[in-house]
A and B are shown apart, each in its own frame.
Chain A
Amino acid sequence: MSTVEDAEGRTIRRGELSWWGRLQINRNWLALWFMLPAAFFLLLFLAWPLILGVWLSFTDTRLARPGKFIGFENYEWLWDDSVFWLSVFNTLLYTIVASIIKFVIGLYLALLLNRHMPFKAMIRSVVLIPFIVPTVLSAIAFWWIYDSQFSIISWSLKQMGLIERNIDFLGDGNLARASLIFVNIWRGVPFVAITLLAGLQTVSPSLYEAATLDGASAWQRFRYVTYPLLTPIIAVVMTFSVLFTFTDFQLIWAMTRGGPANATHLMATLSYSRGILSGQLGEGAAIATAMIPFLLAAIMISWFGLQRRKWQHGENNE
């Protein structure tokens, strides 16, 4: 039997320790107490709602009225609902187009910011401002920029003689999608650029010098030096970017609320308007639950990205 000495030097057996004594010595016991505050929040307000959400999607619960189990009825209903499929299409279009453009422009901006120039630190801080300002507030500013009557873009184009009448940016389905994607890109580029820049700064300049001496062109230096070294961080950044774009809500809600004629509804906004505004909690939860498979796919990509990084850095690398 293992023994320990207490403060007065008496030898006591471990089993006889008070809870306070055990707390001070046993790691597992101590860790339990240390984890308690975090566990309180994460279990009560994250894990429990997550399970409840999946359960709600199998019931016909409405606002302020408990529902009963109805199996897959919500999903069957959604399967035949063209608005739901339109929202799935919009979400995928929004995510794929915005993520690709964010990646390309973000990487380009990161490469520009990584070059030697005066006021580098200041330029870098200014670039991040769109990411700091709350999305809704900048979305409102864009709403005003896209205004059907007083849009500054329409005005400028008219002055240049390029168009005759004002462009109704948010009034036409496809134009509204494009306008919203633009705002999402505008907000996401700084995040992608600054995080990729952090990755770029770890690449040693001597590698580029060596490549240049071997006669590599600028494109080859990027393709065979920068890109392979940056792959792990690209994987993580893009997973986050895809995740946030896919589940975007506030940008759409602030500017179009899913309109015109549902043309810009994403799954998240449709879930809100069905679940909270119309009070069909069950149906809203079903739409939200339908997003989970896509999220799992994104997480898998991240996981494999990290695996690859481990493989690059050798084994014992946490």
Chain B
Amino acid sequence: MSNVAAKAVADEVHADQREGMTYLESFPQRLITLWLPLGIIMVILLFPFYWMALTSVKPNAQLVDMNTHNPFWVVNPTFDHIKRLLFETAYPRWLWNTMYVAAAATFLSIFASVLAAYAIARLRFRGSQTIGALIFMAYLIPPSILFIPLASVIHFYGVFDTPLALILVYPTILIPFSTWLLMGYFKTIPFELEECALIDGASRWQILTKIIVPLAIPGLISAFIFSFTLCWNEFIYALTLISSVQNRTVPVAIVSELVDGDVYRWGSLMAGALVGSLPLVILYAFFVEHYVSAMTGAVKE
């Protein structure tokens, strides 16, 4: 009996916390102060994607004639633009390049970051604090001030205009971020686990691969998703370090190859932008929580 009562009270408390002070507001008040501004912001944030998707299936005639039909909708949608993009341009090749470079650079960076983050967070070697601070500094160095000297460096190493150039360069953006994120995760794993393993005779390598990494899987997924997105999004290095058409990545290829003087280019341009964004949006849809925790975690740490 008292159990039931206690549960009812607990439920009430819970409901109260969840509701907060919203019961103080009337519905019209909420409409004006919450739903209306939120609605306007959401429409502005999402309209470009609607427009992108709509344009990519709109026949050319409707793109240039806005008076016969309402331009906010499409009559007789067509897949011509997407077909042209996939079969008459090197788009599949660019998409493959982007994916390949992003995946390779991400794997390399995560590998290096796990080792570095473990060393900084757990080994407490001499100067680990300084190294940690330096890595944070590296996070703050933007590609925009590095691309010119980097172009000469890449020439010097002899990998200019190859996917390898990007695979080697992207980790400089990803490692500082993922190391910082993973350090935060590693610090939450209790020291005792590691001490027990040490006493049982495990080596540091075994501790890392058998205890720390499995426990930090959520952190690794976060770092992976965020890094992959950053690679996909990267523009200035891909623009500077790649010169031949077949080695380009999607963002650069769309800007430099698909843009020509043709009035009818908009359909395939928008189709290119849409197809280039979809993989990331799908990936994001599956790992929203990990993505958000990567973004906020990196800022909070």
Contacts and interface: CB of A to CB of B under 8 A. Distances in A.
A143 to B, nearest CB: 8
Given A35-B131, A116-B18, A268 B144 contact: yes
Nearest to A29: B125
Contacts of B240: 272, 276
A104 interface: no
B295 A141 contact: no
A315 to B, nearest CB: 16
A46 B276 CA distance: 28
Interface string B122-140: 0111101001000101101
Interface string B163-175: 0000011011001
Band of interface residues on A: 35 or more
A275 interface: yes
A195 B293 CA distance: 9
Given A34-B118, A105-B41, A212-B21, A233 B300 contact: yes
8 contacts: A32-B125, A37-B111, A42-B138, A53-B148, A116-B18, A130-B48, A137-B276, A140-B272
A27 B295 contact: no
A198 B21 contact: no
A130 B45 contact: yes
Contacts of B284: 125, 128-129, 132
A144 B51 contact: yes
Given A141-B270, A233-B300, A249 B235 contact: yes
* Interface of chain A: mostly helix, strand, loop or mixed: helix
Contact of A144 (B45, B169, B269, B291): B269
Contacts, number: 288
Given A45-B172, A136-B251, A289-B145, A35 B116 contact: yes
A250 interface: yes
A236 B152 CA distance: 33
Interface string B45-82: 11011011001000000011010000110000000000
A281 B42 CA distance: 43
B153 to A, nearest CB: 5
A41 interface: yes
Contacts of B126: 28
Given A136-B252, A137-B272, A249-B235, 9 more contacts: A35-B115, A126-B45, A134-B233, A134-B250, A137-B254, A141-B48, A190-B45, A285-B148, A288-B144
B22 A52 contact: no
B44 interface: yes
For the complex of A and B, 6 pairs with smallest distance between CB atoms: A31-B125, A34-B119, A37-B112, A198-B296, A247-B142, A53-B149
B20 A205 contact: yes
Given A45-B169, A46-B138, A129-B46, A38 B276 contact: no
B61 to A, nearest CB: 12
Contacts of B153: 44-45, 48-49, 52
Given A37-B116, A49-B153, A112 B288 contact: no
Interface of B: 17-22, 34, 37-38, 41-42, 44-46, 48-49, 51-52, 55, 63-64, 66, 71-72, 108-109, 111-113, 115-116, 118-120, 123-126, 128, 131, 135, 137-138, 140-153, 168-169, 171-172, 175-176, 179, 203-204, 229, 232-233, 235-236, 239-240, 250-252, 254-255, 266, 269-270, 272-273, 276-277, 280-281, 284-285, 288, 291-292, 295-296, 299-300
* Interface of chain B: mostly helix, strand, loop or mixed: helix
Interface in A289-308: 289, 291-292, 295, 298-299, 302
Interface stretch (A76-84, A92-100, A173-181, A237-245): A237-245
A155 interface: yes
Contacts of A285: 148-149
Given A38-B115, A133-B277, A30 B204 contact: yes
Interface string A4-33: 000000000000000000001001101110
A136 B21 contact: no
A109 interface: yes
B141 A140 contact: no
